[in-house]
């Protein structure tokens, strides 16, 4: 039998609310600045607003000093927000309610695999996607009881053998068979912390987010998020997965790349406008790298041309 197809109309008929969703694990760098700038332009060019959500779900990696630094960095760059800041560290009640809905649907099961906790709290960036082989899917009640004596389980969500598809504003049509391309995925870690996929869906809905702009490395998480939204009866934001800024050897730009850190960028380009202008130029948001504020870039930004802005929709070399 052919797997069923679930196609989603995303972001329909709602006010445009975009978001900045930084993980406070370091100072901002060119990659996050470019993603935030594009999210801001996409929302503002449609008369929309921006939510700031600090994704501090991963408590071990999130640092208080970066939580305030990230807000100062956005302000300095003229990347304003209209709602928030919201945080994830105090949202357990909301995540737990959603978790219980999924449990009542009979779709959650305990998983004792040791790999289970890996990456559960963080967004799975490129190369980190792990397809769960279903090891703990059919354990009997006795097996669960016996294993629970030795180890606290994580919790997984069953996925159907069905295609989940949507139209991405940059990448076009994207479809994934959840069973084959993803597998049952984690929604809670064994230490009881909720996982990224669940938290992001609950928060986007609670904060009224209808426009998600983020790196293409998270494209493969979107079918999971559409599935969660469907199960929880939530609306589907409109998605734009933008190319990644990459360092040498096509490696995703990260905090290791010091020439891309905001401090170094300010030392090199001197003003926030020059940093914004340089990043906008490199990424093809503007024809030149001339200094500009986000407000000035808004004057020429045309959302209808979003997908054409990027000559390579997957990656842009940083320079």
Cα–Cα dist 200/51, whole Å: 13
Q: Tell me, what DSSP letter sits at residue 258?
A: G
User: Quick one: which of 36, 123, 159, 247 contacts ligand GLU (CB under 6 A)?
Assistant: 123
- Closer to ligand GLU by Cβ: residue 75 or 128: 128
124 binds ligand GLU (CB under 6 A): no
Judged by CB under 6 A, the stretch of 18-26, 140-148, 184-192, 293-301 that binds ligand GLU is 18-26
Judged by CB under 6 A, the stretch of 16-24, 59-67, 111-119, 291-299 that binds ligand GLU is 16-24
Cα–Cα dist 205/92, whole Å: 15
- Closer to ligand GLU by Cβ: residue 153 or 215: 215
**Which one, of 51, 22, 62, lies nearest residue 193 by Cα?**
62
Cα–Cα dist 266/270, whole Å: 5
Cα–Cα dist 69/146, whole Å: 47
Burial class (CB in 10 A: 0-12, 13-18, 19+), 277: buried
User: Min. distance of Cβ 174 from ligand GLU in angstroms?
Assistant: 15
Judged by CB under 6 A, the stretch of 15-23, 91-99, 233-241, 250-258 that binds ligand GLU is 15-23
User: Min. distance of Cβ 317 from ligand GLU in angstroms?
Assistant: 20
- Closer to ligand GLU by Cβ: residue 74 or 109: 74
C-alpha pair distances (Å), 47 with each of 278, 280, 283: 25, 21, 23
User: Min. distance of Cβ 196 from ligand GLU in angstroms?
Assistant: 7
CA 126 distance to own-chain centroid: 12
Residue-by-residue DSSP string for 168-182 = ETTTEEEEEEHHHHT
**C-beta of residue 29 within 8 angstroms of C-beta of residue 260:** yes
Judged by CB under 6 A, the stretch of 19-27, 90-98, 247-255, 263-271 that binds ligand GLU is 19-27
- Closer to ligand GLU by Cβ: residue 79 or 136: 79
User: Quick one: which of 10, 11, 18, 21 contacts ligand GLU (CB under 6 A)?
Assistant: 21
Residues from 191 through 250 that contact ligand GLU (CB under 6 A): 200, 214, 218
Number of residues that bind ligand GLU (CB under 6 A): 8
Cα–Cα dist 236/231, whole Å: 12
In the complex, the residues that contact ligand GLU under the rule CB under 6 A are 21-23, 55, 123, 200, 214, 218
């Amino acid at each position: 039998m052919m797997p069923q197809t679930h196609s989603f109309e995303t972001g329909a008929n709602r006010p445009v609310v975009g978001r900045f969703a930084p993980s406070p694990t370091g100072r901002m760098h060119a990659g996050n600045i470019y993603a935030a700038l594009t999210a801001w332009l996409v929302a503002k060019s449609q008369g929309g607003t921006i939510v700031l959500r600090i994704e501090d779900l991963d408590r071990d990696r999130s640092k208080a000093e970066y939580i305030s630094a990230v807000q100062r960095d956005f302000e300095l760059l003229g990347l304003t927000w209209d709602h928030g800041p919201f945080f994830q560290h105090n949202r357990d009640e909301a995540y737990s309610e959603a978790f219980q809905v999924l449990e009542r649907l009979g779709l959650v099961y305990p998983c004792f695999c040791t790999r289970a906790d890996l990456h559960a709290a963080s967004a799975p960036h490129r190369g980190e996607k792990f397809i769960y082989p279903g090891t703990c899917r059919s354990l009997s009640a006795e097996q669960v009881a016996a294993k629970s004596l030795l180890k606290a389980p994580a919790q997984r969500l069953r996925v159907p053998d069905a295609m989940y598809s949507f139209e991405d504003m940059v990448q076009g049509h994207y479809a994934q068979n959840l069973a084959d391309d993803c597998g049952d995925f984690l929604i809670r870690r064994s230490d009881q912390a909720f996982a990224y996929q669940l938290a992001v869906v609950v928060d986007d809905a609670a904060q009224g987010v209808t426009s998600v702009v983020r790196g293409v490395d998270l494209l493969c998480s979107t079918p999971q998020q559409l599935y969660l939204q469907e199960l929880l009866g939530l609306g589907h934001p409109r998605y734009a997965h933008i190319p990644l800024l990459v360092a040498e050897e096509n490696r995703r730009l990260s905090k290791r790349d010091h020439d891309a850190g905001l401090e170094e960028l300010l030392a090199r380009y001197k003003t926030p406008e020059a940093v914004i202008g340089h990043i906008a130029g490199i990424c093809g948001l503007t024809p030149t790298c001339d200094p500009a504020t986000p407000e000035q870039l808004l004057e020429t930004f045309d959302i209808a041309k979003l997908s054409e802005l990027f000559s390579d929709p997957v990656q842009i070399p940083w320079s």
